[in-house]
Amino acid sequence: MKKTNFNTSPGKKPNIELNKPDDSKFWQQPNFTLLAYLIFILSSFYLWHGIAETRQQEIPYSEFLTHVDNQEIAEAVITEKTITGTLTIIDEKTKKPRQFFTVPLWDNDLARNLEQNGVTYKVRQSSKWLTTFLFSWIIPFGLLFWFWHIMAQKMGGAGKNFLNIGGNRIHIHAESDLNVTFDDVAGAEEAKLELKEIIEFLKQPERIKSLGGRMPKGILLTGAPGTGKTLMARAVAGEAKVPFFSISGSEFIEMFVGVGAARVRELFVQARQKAPCIIFIDELDAIGGSRGMGPALGGHDEREQTLNQLLTEMDGFDTSTGVVVLAATNRPEILDKALLRSGRFDRQIIVDKPDLLDRLAILKLHTKEMKIADDVDLNVVAQRTPGFVGADLENIANEAAIGAVRENHQKITMDDFEKAIDRVMAGPEKKHRAMNDNEKNRVAFHESGHALVAKNLPTAEPIHKVSIIPRGVAALGYTLQLPVTEKFLSTKQEMKEQITILLGGRSAEEIVFHDVSSGAQNDLERATEIAHSMVCQLGMSERLGPLTYGKQQRLMYLDVAAREERNFSEETARLIDEEIKNLVEEGHQQAMEIISSKRNILDKLASRLLEKEVLSGEEVEQIVKTGE
């Protein structure tokens, strides 16, 4: 539950609530006043009872028996739990016969004993049956019922007939007149092209039909988070000027069993009434993950029901009604196969991460309204952000603007952008997390090692920046290289040299401090990874030949949870390990050679880095070339 205030039910406007005819409202509304009265009356009843009891003095059972033996009992009332009564003894204070009560031991001889001593007694059912009944049954159940009622109301506006949770009272809101268009989506031309067809269809459903065409029922947008899938779905509705019903898969997870399925049903009912229109199911993987994965992997009764309902609905409608179902996911591979079958989401549109030109376009779009200084080159920003998605770039533009305000700039400068990139890339600068001088010295040499090695290898990408300002949790410093052009292939030599560069940091530490530190861990990991894929996936080892070893089983789209299946012998496994080790070792050797032969330049780089904390590509170039 997200909201905790009991008075509002989501998706309902209060004014509508008030204008409703007051038909038997008593049972519909959680009636706080009534409840308060009830509690008050019952508690006073209980209290009064308690007081009545305490007017009588409790006496030990043994004393009671003595009174019986002494024939001092005037009368007694016996219930299962207590014996109350009056003594023949007069109380000094009240001048009345003393009253008493006692809790008896269950004693079968009591009746005979009383009779023998001539005591008049009555046997009654426990006089507290009423209270017991009320407190142990009526109130708890009443409270439960009341609570359930409130929950039912909150869950889906099922206030009218709350026994029918998630009946047809579910409110689904369609957005119409969306003013998002394809102009708000920069780049992604391929995806846009495919979606244009759907827009045409939504604009004139009859026309496509008369030409004998058939629309796909469901279109699945797939791509990494932040690539603009949601944005694009909205733009389709905006372009076609049709209502947009959207629902997010994750919304279903917190609902009562049955509500999700009911919502899906209602969604399709309403969509049919408003056709042509778009139904958009965001984060489809939240409900559409493979069934039967078991609870540990998110197996969920509710989810399963919802998914089944969705499948049923998709089978049950035909595209000529003008309803188009769009869905988005960043994990298409975990979707239940049944969803991807023909007649369901049988068309997939891949929304790629933006390339250089697209990144530039996105940056331009998001800085359109901003005051940008003349020195800002968005091209460089785009170059510096390979792998960034639209959401990241928007974030950069935003961070740059915030930074400019903080620094009191009249316009957003290139410096603001640089800082914004760094911030988005590696978390906010951790200047306060100061390294001690020893550590700083070490990091300076480490990063200089990377830079120096990179400068001495023919295929290495140019250095853009070397920094020893600590950022985020892991990185104490970094050496940033930038590709001249976007690259899609790597040669064996390039990959080997990458390993060498990665080992440059550690090698520098070895040479300067005759010792290594934990700071190189990430470098080694990446170097090993590269070597591994060279040997096992890319057939770049001569001894193992152009074969692939091990089947990669990707469980998730972007996450690392890849499992490897072995399809080779122990012997081969040993060979693979050897080859990986050789590759990394070779890189290490080469890095050591480069650094020892240019030790003076390493020192220069490190001292300049210590002094300035950040060196630009040109500054590094200068030092490497002239030694100054």
- Catalytic annotation, residues: 447
Closest approach of Mg ion to the CB of residue 389, in Å: 11
Binders of ligand ADP in range 309-328 (CB under 6 A): 328
**Interface pick for ligand ADP out of 266, 302, 394, 510 (rule CB under 6 A):** 394
**Which one of 227-235, 237-245, 259-267, 402-410 is the stretch in contact with ligand ADP (CB under 6 A)?**
227-235
In the numeric block, which tokens belong to residue 349?
């549109």
Edge-to-edge strands of the sheet including 614-616?
Answer: 478-481, 463-467, 614-616
Say if residues 477 and 447 touch (Cβ distance below 8 Å). yes
In a 3-state reduction of DSSP, which class is residue 305? helix
How near is the Cβ of 585 to Zn ion at its closest, in Å? 18
396 touches ligand ADP (CB under 6 A) = no
Where does this chain touch ligand ADP (CB under 6 A) — which range of 25-33, 58-66, 388-396, 608-616? 388-396
d(CA 380, CA 64): 99
Pick what 228 binds: Zn ion, ligand ADP, Mg ion, none; C-beta below 5 to 8 Å, kind-dependent: ligand ADP
Listed in sequence order, the residues at least 6 apart from 588 whose beta carbon sits closer than 8 Å to its beta carbon are 500, 503, 506, 507
Angle, vertex CA 233, rays to CA 231 and CA 239, nearest 5: 100
Our finding on whether 330 is near Mg ion (CB under 5 A) is: no
344 binds ligand ADP (CB under 6 A): no
Tokens 């009859």 belong to: 206
Q: Which residue has the tokens 């005759």?
A: 514
Which residues in this chain contact Zn ion in the complex, by CB under 5 A? 505, 523
Q: Which helix (H) or strand (E) holds 529?
A: helix 521-536
Stretch of 224-232, 485-493, 519-527, 570-578 lying at the interface with Mg ion (CB under 5 A): 224-232
In angstroms, give the least distance from the CB of 477 to Zn ion.
8
Residue nearest to ligand ADP (CB): 390
Which stretch in 14-22, 113-121, 167-175, 220-228 sits in contact with ligand ADP by CB under 6 A? Answer: 220-228
Here the tokens at position 79 are 């219930």
192 binds ligand ADP (CB under 6 A): no
Distance of alpha carbon 427 from alpha carbon 593, whole angstroms: 35
Please identify, using beta-carbon distances, which residue of 289 and 505 lies nearer to ligand ADP: 289
d(CA 503, CA 583): 11
Three-class DSSP category at 562: strand
CA-based radius of gyration for the chain: 39
28: three-class secondary structure by DSSP:
helix
Smallest distance from the beta carbon of 600 to Zn ion, in angstroms?
21
Contact between 382 and ligand ADP by CB under 6 A: the answer reads no
The sign of the CA dihedral 272, 275, 281, 282 is: negative
Binding of residue 230 to Mg ion (CB under 5 A): yes
Q: Is 186 in the site for ligand ADP (CB under 6 A)?
A: yes
Asked whether position 222 contacts ligand ADP by CB under 6 A, the answer is no
Residue 395 touching Mg ion (CB under 5 A): no
Considering beta carbons, is residue 251 or 593 the nearer one to Mg ion?
A: 251
Nearest approach in angstroms of CB 365 to ligand ADP is 5
Amino acid letter for position 620: V
Neighbours of 16 (CB within 10 A): 8
User: Which residues are near Mg ion by CB under 5 A?
Assistant: 230
User: Which residues are near ligand ADP by CB under 6 A?
Assistant: 185-188, 223, 225-231, 328, 362, 365, 390-391, 394
